[in-house]
Structure 1
Amino acid sequence: MGQRLREIRQLAGLTQAQVAERLEIGQTAVSKLESRRDLHVSKLREYLAAMGATLRIGAHFVDAAFMVNNLREADFRYEQVDENQLILPILGDDQLPPHRDVVFSIKPEYSRKIASGEKTIELRRRFPMSVPAGTTALIYETSPTRALAGIAEIGEVHRCAPQEIWTTFGERACITRKDFDSYFAGVDRAFAIELRHARRLARPLELSELRERFSFEPPQSFLYATPKLREALLNECAKIPD
């Protein structure tokens, strides 16, 4: 590893003395670094930073598409490169941004009830409690519609036993007890997500357009909207009526 770093330094047109000055260490210490077979990640990052570079470590998963889909639905900040590649903040002090839009996959009959104000609770088997009130919820209608068709604002997120969810929110969820029990079968905790200020988008975006423009793939449950998608929908969702 040290030899590789030395080669990179030379390609960058820097001397050991220049790197040492930027690291505020002696040139001898830099020479020792460049003779080592391995380095701590922290040392490697500091050395590269002295040359104006940012360290990135790649992890290749055999089933990349499966992993990407899971991460798209996870409570984790990422930058999407393509459908099989994400950049994740493993190193450093990057924090999750405080506000990210969420895309829900919802059956058309439930989506219409959300838009009309009849359905004000969305149920999920899993959902991050860190999603703050005021987050924009984009509603993707599943088959046969297959389009991004609605928008709402997330209120409070509740996590408790399914029976408590049913007792407190069952009526507002607009679901039968049979379907409720089937959906939450085998789980100890359920999520009830309050939705408010719901409305239909002025122009639904069909799946073909979403794929072409944003490399969008419908989530099984939910995912965080990419910055590119959020920017394109700025005129639609920047202001939700009170």
Structure 2
Amino acid sequence: MNNLVYTSEEDNIKVFEIEGDFVYCEDFKKDLFELVVGSEDIYPGIDMWMKKKVIPEIFHRRRKGFIAYFNNAPAGAAILKKDKSTKLCSLRVKDNFRNKGVAHTLLRIISNEIRKYAKLIYFTISEDVWDEIGDFLIRYDLKIRDIYPVKYRKGVKEFIGFTNIKNFIECINREEIIRKLNKTSERKQIVMSVKPEYAFKIIKGEKKIEVRRCFSYKWLNSIVWIYATSPLKSIVGKGIIRNIIEMSPSMAWNEFKKYIGINKEKFYNYVKDKRKIFLVFIDDIENLTPYIPWKNFEAFIDATAPPQSYFALNIK
């Protein structure tokens, strides 16, 4: 069994899920323990809490841990108490790995996990920690709702916060869009509409060429966002336009049919009487999961509707 649940070469982040027997794997146990117990100055006795409660309950699958590695170094960890009202027991990123997407990635993995069974996610947090990271948590609708009756340190207030899963997931998706758009903001970009069956062929690498009746060479080496049309109506992936060739339909079919990803009848029905068509070669595909609904995506770009064929993407 492989407990790797996320990997990104672009971000240099890997996330491992810790549950059941994996909690007693020495490397994982050591890294999880050190990452969480690093909060000892904030929560006295957290080492005993880990030993007596967390580790046994992870083994018995009542809790679940996640460890994030940045460039293969332990960078952050999260612990959940699994229930319909799921508690985010711990979320910590080492100081030298902050602002690298580690905390966001952990929250994204958590959202994928708890959407299966939870209706609410809640947490407790001390006043001084809230002052430090509260602005970050608010971006995910993880807001303080009340004073928590338990104090872990004398004279320091403890708060309780929560949000429903729907709001949490919507915030995760919004932050994911912002992060992806910010990474690509310096390059030319387009959004291209593709029927779902062909969009997924592109994602899987089974369709390397998108045929267009009209296109422009100016989009060479641009980023292309793949919009899967109805009924999905979502951004499902992105890639790079590595080549653009203009040629006759018959020559295109004879030379590149195995990369076009549709049958001959559909190909000629699409190109019809065009003397020349454009072959758009898409490479470096990234599968975006969860998919980004168009209504979420368009909130950050200068557009009010998805393209009929394609259009230039301009970030607001």
Scaled by the length of structure 2, what TM-score is found? 0.39
Distance in 2 separating the partners of 1:148 and 1:205: 5
Matched, 1:223 2:292: no
Matched, 1:186 2:245: no
Query: Offset of 1:201 from its aligned partner?
Result: 1.3
**Does the aligned pair in 2 maintain the 1:106–1:141 contact within 8 Å?**
yes
User: Which letter maps to 1:157?
Assistant: I
Distance in 2 separating the partners of 1:123 and 1:146: 20
- The counterpart of 2:199, out of the listed 89, 97, 111, is 111
Matched, 1:155 2:242: yes
Distance in 2 separating the partners of 1:205 and 1:174: 24
Q: Hey, what does 1:67 align to over in structure 2? A: none
Query: Offset of 1:216 from its aligned partner?
Result: 3.5
Q: What is the SS of the residue equivalent to 1:130? A: helix
User: Which letter maps to 1:124?
Assistant: R
Query: Going by fraction, where is strand more abundant, 1 or 2?
Result: 2
Q: What is the SS of the residue equivalent to 1:227? A: coil
1:1-242 → structure 2 map (5 Å cutoff):
99-132=187-220, 134-214=221-301, 215-228=303-316
How many correspondences in the alignment?
130
Q: Hey, what does 1:5 align to over in structure 2? A: none
**Does the aligned pair in 1 maintain the 2:244–2:279 contact within 8 Å?**
yes
Query: Offset of 1:223 from its aligned partner?
Result: 0.5
**Does the aligned pair in 1 maintain the 2:208–2:260 contact within 8 Å?**
yes
**Does the aligned pair in 1 maintain the 2:300–2:315 contact within 8 Å?**
no
Scaled by the length of structure 1, what TM-score is found? 0.51
Q: Cα RMSD between the aligned structures?
A: 1.6
Q: Which runs of 4+ in 1 moved over 4 A?
A: none
**Unaligned runs of at least 5 residues, structure 2:** 1-185
Report percent identity of matched pairs. 28
Higher relative contact order (CA 8 A, sep 6+): 1
**Does the aligned pair in 2 maintain the 1:116–1:199 contact within 8 Å?**
no
